[in-house]
Amino acid sequence: MNYSVAESSRGFTLVEVLIALALTGIIGITILNLYISSSRAYHRQLQLTEMQQNLRAGLDALVADLRMAGYAKGSDAAVGMVAAGSRSVHFTMDLTSDGDFADANEDLTFSLYKSSGIPRLGRKTAGGNNSPVAEYIEAMGFAYAFDGNADGALDADSDGRTHWGVMEIGGNWIELDTDADNRIAVADDTDADGIIDGIDTGVIAREKDIRAVKIWLLGRAPKPDPQFNASQTFVVGGRVLTFNDNYRRQLLQTSVNCRNLGI
């Protein structure tokens, strides 16, 4: 008797195996790249969110306390601006209406300091140490509007533009808006040395004449981002700051009318 054996099936050829491996590799690399990209975007968004939260917390604290500067209801305490710096501010208020500003939170200084290598915005009470308000605040600046002639209105130029200036030690108010365009910007640094030299207003600089405060806060992401090449310029008060690194930054700016100081 004759028997025949049928061929049941064929295996994969070497070419087919190589093609399958190549396709698997391509798909795997694509999925890995998508995962890496998503992970980077997630961590980048986390850092941006943290930076924005730090900036908002710092600005909110500054604004809330500055609005109370000079408060002295039913008190004869000599309260108000003590030191109006371009990078720090010191002021008092009589929150308890007891005729002094020796109680808690009645004598405040806001300035920047470093702790554990982290730049922080600090809030210091009289005789105390800096308490951290916000982290990764890289720069802070102030400018002031004033009533030098005591007429109940902010001093302005002939066009009605409010003067925003800094105090010249032992001298006058120095206007930061050198080109009179109602902005304190890079163009106001006329000699490009990173400092806005400003214009002498001819008005004697006195803390007691301050009626409003302009605030700049520059925040920085906690960690550098190798995928981000920063080439940024920011105006922070009377300074022009340029960076060339891998940190993301954001600038917040606002103005506070200090109504307890007369406006």
pLDDT tens profile 231-240: 889 999 999 9
pLDDT tens profile 158-172: 899 999 999 987 799
Domain that holds residue 234: 43-261
Residue 142 clears pLDDT 90, i.e. is over it: yes
pLDDT tens profile 23-33: 888 888 888 77
- C-alpha dist (Å) from residue 56 to 26, 49, 50, 199, 252: 45, 10, 10, 31, 8
3-class SS of residue 208: helix
For residue 205, being part of any structural domain is answered with yes
Residue 8 clears pLDDT 80, i.e. is over it: no
How many residues in the chain? Answer: 263
**Is there a contact between 188 and 177 (Cβ–Cβ < 8 Å)?**
yes
- Backbone φ/ψ region at 97: left (φ over 0), alpha (ψ -120 to 50), beta: left
CB-based burial, 23-37: b 16+ in 10 Å, e otherwise: eeeeeeeeeeeeeee
The pLDDT assigned to 225 comes to: 87
Q: Could you give the number of structural domains in the chain?
A: 1
The pLDDT assigned to 169 comes to: 75
The pLDDT assigned to 47 comes to: 80
For residue 29, being part of any structural domain is answered with no
Residue 147 clears pLDDT 90, i.e. is over it: yes
pLDDT tens profile 188-202: 999 999 999 899 999
For residue 121, being part of any structural domain is answered with yes
The pLDDT assigned to 69 comes to: 95
Global pTM reads 0.83
Share of the chain above pLDDT 70, in %: 94
- Strand order of the β-sheet with 81-84 is 81-84, 89-92, 107-115, 118-125, 131-135
For residue 33, being part of any structural domain is answered with no
The pLDDT assigned to 238 comes to: 94
For residue 88, being part of any structural domain is answered with yes
For residue 170, being part of any structural domain is answered with yes
For residue 11, being part of any structural domain is answered with no
For residue 21, being part of any structural domain is answered with no
15 backbone dihedrals φ, ψ, rounded to 5°? -65, -45
Q: Which helix (H) or strand (E) holds 26?
A: helix 14-66
